[in-house]
Amino acid sequence: MVFRQFFRRNDAVLMSVLVDENTRLLVQGLTGREGGFHTGQAIEYGTKVVAGVTPGKGGTVWKGATGSRNVPVFNTVAEAVETTGANVSVIFVPPAFAADAIMEAADAGLPLVVCITEGIPTFDMIRVKQFLAGSNTRLIGPNCPGIISPGKCKVGIMPGSIHKPGNVGVNDDPETHAMVLIGEIGGSAEEDAAQFIKERVRKPVTGFICGRTAPPGRRMGHAGAIISGGKGTAADKIAALQAAGITVAGSPALIGETMAQLLSHQHEQ
């Protein structure tokens, strides 16, 4: 889940919007199939894509499938940042090389790195986490859809058309009136988030936990989505959210209704 990272840092502060019209995006893996396709979509959405990085293709210009794009390609992230002033990187490189790509982006001083790649070995991510500790780089992902600020900037693989500007978010910002927290089985990020919300958040929060029907001991697609040793069950997470005052929707179809009710109650008060 995208927002897990928001609560992981020791210096957790409620975050403001991460990407907007000032974002200058660099794409690692731009010349690959996925990277090229989603970069085209991002440009059409209005995102400023300033550079691509593909080792060995430095000095070329990426034209895209339509032949109408003009994005300069560099051999290294450091060179791309220095030349173009990129301030966010999105990573589409294959899993075997993704950890290296994240570290390269952090080494170049980028404050925000969004890694879309799925299937990175666990030990690689343990080393990346260690590498990032103490740096100023915030990593979103890996194995995530990315981030979107509706109408402003799209960094990821989500379709732009399904997002509308509004005031319900996964982060805190003066424009945000309420929050939705979506979690799934495995790990303890939802419990950590519940504790954080209990202590720090005064806006209405609706929760949903996916995986009530997941059998124990089986990995449900996502790397961490597994109930192991009786830990990480949906029931435990729902209880933790409820104990923190979060209203939990029983079905994904009820998230919107639940949020609407919370907001109308708040309005009445």
Partner 1 sequence: MKIHEYQAKQILGRYGVAVPRGEVISRVEEARVAAERLGGGTVVVKAQIHAGGRGKGGGVKLARNSAEAEKVAGDILGMTLVTHQTGPEGRVVRKVLIEEGLDVARELYLGLVIDRAIGRPVFMASTEGGVEIEVVAAQHPEKILKESIDPGVGFQAFQARKLAFGLGLEGVQVTEAVKFFAALYRAFEGTDASLTEINPFVVTRDGRLLALDAKMNFDDNALFRHREIRELRDLDEEDPLEVKASNSGLNYIRLDGNVGCMVNGAGLAMATMDIIQYAGGRPANFLDVGGGASEEQVRKGFEIILGDPNVRAVLINIFGGIMRCDIVANGVVGAAKSLGIKVPVVVRLEGTNVELGQKILRESELNFTVANGMKDAAEKVVSLARH
The set of catalytic residues is 222
Question: Per-residue x/- mask for partner 1, residues 122 to 161, rule CB under 8 A?
Answer: xxxxxx-xx--------------------------xxx-x
Q: What is the DSSP letter of 16?
A: -
Q: Any long-range contacts for 100-106 (C-beta under 8 Å, 24+ apart)?
A: 101/28, 101/29, 102/128, 102/132, 102/139, 102/142, 103/128, 103/131, 103/132, 104/28, 104/76, 104/77, 104/78, 105/26, 105/28, 105/77, 105/137, 106/131, 106/132, 106/135, 106/137, 106/139
Min. distance of Cβ 118 from partner 1 in angstroms? 9
Min. distance of Cβ 94 from partner 1 in angstroms? 10
Which residues are bridge partners to 229 per DSSP?
A: none
Residues numbered 183-222 forming contacts with partner 1, rule: CB under 8 A: 184-188, 210-215, 218, 220-222
Nearer to partner 1, 80 or 225 (CB): 225
Show the beta-strand stretches assigned E in 71-156. 71-74, 88-91, 112-115, 138-140, 146-149, 153-156
User: How many residues bind partner 1, per CB under 8 A?
Assistant: 46
Min. distance of Cβ 179 from partner 1 in angstroms? 18
Out of 250, 260, 265, 266, which residue is the one contacting partner 1 (CB under 8 A)?
A: 250
Q: Which residues bind partner 1 (CB under 8 A)?
A: 1, 37, 41, 95-96, 119-127, 129-130, 157-159, 161-162, 184-188, 210-215, 218, 220-225, 229-230, 250-254
